[in-house]
């Protein structure tokens, strides 16, 4: 069973032969699907609608729609069925009373509806468990389990900075050369903190500093519109080229007005003043906030994964990443090669993730295990500015290869880059 952006639902047999292909009855963007345990019916949720439909698994005809009266905003795109088939679940971006609830209908979807409140951010996945329990994944991030009555058995909400709505007066702010950044741990830029790369110091609730400036979003000769949470940002009335369903989230114009950066769902994109793309880099999460240093050499972006990252404006090369835990304020800053500096207790917030195949649990090796090789404050200091890069000494490159070979016990891992530096939330 597949759903597609063309609005169609397709049903295949075990040999991937197409059996049925029909346009979804409840919206133009069908998203989640879930078979009933007996395989006779299929529930469908939508990205562009709050409808939840139940279709026949024989011919994809509409059997009925669950009662969603009063659900008039967001979506219920993620759907699931209980293991006994008695309950139909749905959730997504539907938001009410500070929660993104999961809706539960009894009688297979024909009955009364009740709400399970576990998450305050978008429901990303719903998975039925035994005994009527339900596993839930949500933005934030959050993972948890609820009982069939909606009682939360347990949940874990990852501690990351939330850069949403940190635009305008609540923006991230930079020093002229980009070595200091002020940001907020929560939406709207509160509570504020400032990190200095030069001093390796995190300051909480810093005093006002007029040397730290927010992004330029208006400039003479650059009329950039429709860029706040829109799919169709424009330059002088002409639509900028983004991918289908790629939403613009943030904007920063260079001090000299020669170019600008759009932060989107999936990328950081740099355009020249005529709207031609100069470079594009993958984003590790939604690029909620972006700024360009006063000297025009660096861009700094705040992402949905809770990191701040420094990029070279000339070509978009990533130079550094910073992760700060909001609860205990431990921090770590690292280069793409894995060299790092960290506060006390912060170094194991990053490490190496080693996969062993789809059916075997992966391993995580905290950076502290290789402190001698990778704890390099001098390297971090050397990468904070373009034009002052650390030299890739052969000795340090040999360290990287030795560690990767030790982790993978196979030199091919180094060649295929199967082991990559990353960070984790504890």
Q: For residue range 108-157, what is the model confidence (pLDDT) as tens digits?
A: 999 999 999 999 899 999 999 988 899 999 988 899 999 988 899 999 98
End-to-end CA distance of the chain: 36
150/278: higher pLDDT = 278
Residue 385, pLDDT above cutoff 60: no
What is the C-alpha separation between 129 and 283, in angstroms, rounded? Answer: 33
Tokens 């940002």 belong to which residue? 233
Domain 168-320 has CATH 2.130.10.10: yes
pLDDT number for residue 257: 97
Task: Output the pLDDT for position 98.
Answer: 87
- Percentage of the chain modeled with pLDDT above 70: 89
Separation CA 268–CA 417 (nearest Å): 23
Model confidence at 416, pLDDT cuts 50, 70, 90, reads very low
The pLDDT tens digits for 59-69 are 999 999 999 99
Ramachandran class of 259: left when φ > 0, alpha when ψ lies in -120 to 50, beta otherwise: beta
- Annotation: CATH topology of 2-157: Methylamine Dehydrogenase; Chain H (2.130.10)
For the chain, give the percent of residues with pLDDT over 90.
75
Q: Is the pLDDT of residue 387 over 50?
A: no
pTM for the whole thing?
Answer: 0.83
More confident residue, 185 or 411: 185
Give the pLDDT score at 402.
Answer: 61
**278 pLDDT more than 90:** yes
Say yes or no to pLDDT of 422 above 50: no
Each domain of the chain, given as residue ranges in start order, spans: 2-157, 168-320, 347-423
Q: How far is it, in rounded angstroms, from Cα 139 to Cα 121?
A: 5
Mean of the per-residue pLDDT values of the chain = 89
User: Which distant-in-sequence residues (6+ apart) come within 8 Å of 322 by Cβ?
Assistant: 181, 195, 307, 308, 309, 331, 332, 333
pLDDT computed for residue 276 by the predictor: 97
């Amino acid at each position: 069973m597949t759903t597609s952006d063309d609005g169609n639902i397709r049903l295949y047999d075990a040999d991937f032969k197409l059996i049925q292909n029909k346009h979804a009855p409840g919206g133009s963007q069908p998203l989640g699907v879930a078979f009933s345990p007996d395989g006779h019916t299929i529930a469908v949720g939508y990205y562009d609608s709050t409808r939840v439909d139940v279709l026949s698994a024989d011919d994809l005809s509409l059997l009925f729609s669950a009662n969603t009266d009063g659900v008039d905003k967001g979506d219920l795109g993620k759907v699931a069925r209980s293991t006994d088939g008695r309950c139909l679940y749905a959730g997504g971006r539907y938001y009410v009373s500070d929660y993104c609830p999961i809706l539960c209908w009894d009688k297979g979807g024909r009955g009364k509806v009740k709400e399970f409140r576990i998450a305050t951010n978008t429901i990303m996945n719903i998975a039925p468990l035994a005994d009527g329990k339900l596993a839930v994944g949500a933005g934030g991030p959050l993972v948890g389990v609820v009982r069939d009555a909606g009682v939360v058995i347990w949940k874990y909400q990852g501690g990351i900075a939330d850069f949403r709505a940190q635009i305008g007066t609540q923006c991230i702010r930079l020093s002229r050369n980009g070595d200091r950044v002020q940001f907020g741990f929560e939406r709207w830029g509160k509570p504020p903190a400032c990190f200095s790369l030069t001093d390796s110091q995190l300051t909480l609730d810093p005093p006002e500093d007029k040397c730290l400036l927010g992004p330029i979003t208006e400039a003479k000769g650059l009329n950039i519109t429709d860029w706040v949470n829109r799919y169709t940002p424009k330059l002088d009335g002409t639509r900028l080229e983004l991918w289908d369903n790629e939403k613009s989230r943030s904007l920063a114009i260079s001090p000299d007005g020669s170019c600008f950066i759009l932060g989107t769902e999936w990328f950081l994109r740099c355009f020249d003043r005529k709207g031609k793309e100069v470079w594009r880099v993958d984003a590790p999460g939604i690029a909620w906030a972006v700024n360009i240093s006063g000297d025009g050499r660096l861009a700094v972006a705040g992402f949905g994964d809770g990191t701040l990252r420094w990029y070279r404006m000339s070509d978009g090369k990533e130079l550094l990443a910073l992760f700060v835990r909001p609860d205990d304020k431990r921090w770590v800053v690292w280069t793409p090669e894995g060299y790092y500096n960290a506060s006390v207790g912060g170094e194991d917030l990053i490490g190496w993730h080693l996969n062993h195949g789809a059916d075997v649990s992966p391993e995580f090796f905290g950076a502290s295990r290789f402190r001698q090789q990778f704890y390099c404050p001098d390297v971090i200091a050397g990468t904070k500015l373009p034009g002052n890069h650390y030299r890739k000494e052969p000795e340090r490159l040999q360290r990287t290869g030795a560690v990767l070979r030790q982790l993978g016990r196979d030199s091919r891992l180094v060649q295929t880059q199967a082991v990559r530096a990353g960070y984790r939330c504890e």
